[in-house]
Amino acid sequence: MHRNNHPGAESRAGIADVASLAGVSQGTVSNVLNHPERVAEETRARVVRAMEMLSYVPNGLARSLAAGSSSTIGLVVTDLSNSLFIDIARGAERAAELAGVDLMLANADGRLDREERYLGLFAQSRFAGILMTLNDEQHFASIAARATGRTPLVMLNFNAPEARFCSASVDNELGGYLAAQHLLELGRRRLVFVGGPDELKPVQDRGRGYRRALREHGLGSVREVMPERINRADGWEIGLALADPVARAEVDGIFASSDLLAAGIVQALAGTVGVSIPEDVAIVGFDNNQAAWDSPIPITTVSQPGEAVGRIGAELVQTEAAARSGPHAHRSVILTPELVVRRSTSTVPALQTTA
């Protein structure tokens, strides 16, 4: 490896260049960066001036390598097109900022291989800690298996066993319960639950809560639909399939396990002649996605406190990182979801503000 000497590309200034220009030792320059209080004011000023003259940019790689630690944490997110994850990212970023650490994001875009690849990248980058959103047991198992355990790893949106990981998640069972209770309080009795694939643990939990509410009202869950995926297109198809039962008054309430699903259903149903929402059928979604308040008919939903999940996750990972050299008791924080009533279940909704 030899220095690149092509014209106009004098090699980047290093700490040694700064030191000699300022007439001090490397150690002093380093102290200016890391322990300014140890350096006499006059010397410090001289060094800073030298840095500016050379437009010196410290090499973070060498810094972290030598110091044996970095102050960056990573967040691997399942899919940025779901606004829940953006909320989580925002929360994590704010917490990181308050703590004075940096946060880098990676978007798996719904692909498991990408998730694992980014996890590896973050681990190799020796980040102080890693945050990752998780969706199902199986997925958790595969991630947990490959976790070396050297970099603190905190699970978001998934209630991981405290024996191994910290995690921050939402009480999905309660959310499902709240949704069902709302429909029941509106007098709806002919309900449909639109769930999702078995592997999606949060969705299963929502279903459990829903059924519990039904039982408490002496009802059994009659109709349940389990689509392969839970995005808008699936909702659309389900909506089309439900148009008939709704028109025949066999169905008067729908709980969809995601807002995307609910938005698709609303889109399909609202376009169907003779079906009016919420009169003929009331619909509740889950997540409080953009999709919910942005829908033609704003959708009642169970709000996941995404920002809080992100914030708490970031706090947990930093606590764990700080305890690196000692024992650490993992904590799994479970947050409470909240019902947000909108037009899809109520003809007199609360005044709706945007944002």
Give the integer Cα–Cα distance in Å for 151 and 142.
17
Q: How many residues bind a copy of itself (CB under 8 A)?
A: 65
Cα 125 from Cα 60, distance rounded (Å): 11
**Among 158, 165, 177, 236, contact with a copy of itself (rule: CB under 8 A):** 236
Nearest alpha-carbon partner for 109 in 117, 121, 101, 98: 117
Question: Which of a copy of itself, DNA, none interacts with 6 (beta carbon under 5 to 8 A by kind)?
Answer: a copy of itself
Binding mask 75-104 toward DNA (x if CB under 7 A, else -) reads ------------------------------
What whole-number distance in Å separates Cα of residue 252 and Cα of residue 278? 9
* Contact in structure between 191 and 203 (CB atoms under 8 Å): no
Binding mask 212-231 for a copy of itself (x = CB under 8 A): -------------------x
Displacement of CA 12 from its chain's centroid (Å): 38
Q: For residues 110-149, which are near a copy of itself according to CB under 8 A? A: 114, 117-118, 120-121, 123-126, 148
Task: Check: CB of residue 228 under 8 Å from CB of residue 234.
Answer: yes
- Kindly tell me which of 21 and 88 has the beta carbon lying closer to DNA: 21
Please check whether residue 159 is in contact with residue 148, taking contact to mean a CB–CB distance below 8 angstroms: no
Q: Does 6 bind a copy of itself (CB under 8 A)?
A: yes
- For DNA, the closer CB: 16 or 233: 16
Say how far apart CA 76 and CA 79 lie, in whole Å: 9
- Cβ 208 to DNA shortest distance, Å: 45
Instruction: Quote the CA–CA distance of 259 and 265 in Å, as a whole number.
Output: 9
From the list a copy of itself, DNA, none, pick the one residue 163 interacts with, judged by a Cβ distance below 5 to 8 Å according to partner type. none
Q: Is 240 in the site for a copy of itself (CB under 8 A)?
A: no
Residue range at the interface with DNA (CB under 7 A); choices 31-39, 295-303, 330-338, 339-347: 31-39
Select from DNA, a copy of itself, none the partner in contact with residue 347, using the beta carbon and a kind-dependent cut-off of 5 to 8 Å. Answer: none
> What is the Cα gyration radius of the chain?
26
Query: Any idea of the CA torsion for 197, 202, 203, 207, to the nearest 10 degrees?
Result: 130
Could you tell me if 166 and 318 are in contact, meaning their C-beta atoms sit under 8 angstroms apart? no
> Which residues contribute to the site for a copy of itself (CB under 8 A)?
1, 4, 6, 8-9, 12, 55, 57-65, 68, 70, 72, 74, 80-81, 83, 86, 89-90, 93, 97, 102-107, 109, 114, 117-118, 120-121, 123-126, 148, 150, 231-233, 236, 263-264, 267, 290-291, 294-297, 324-327, 354-355
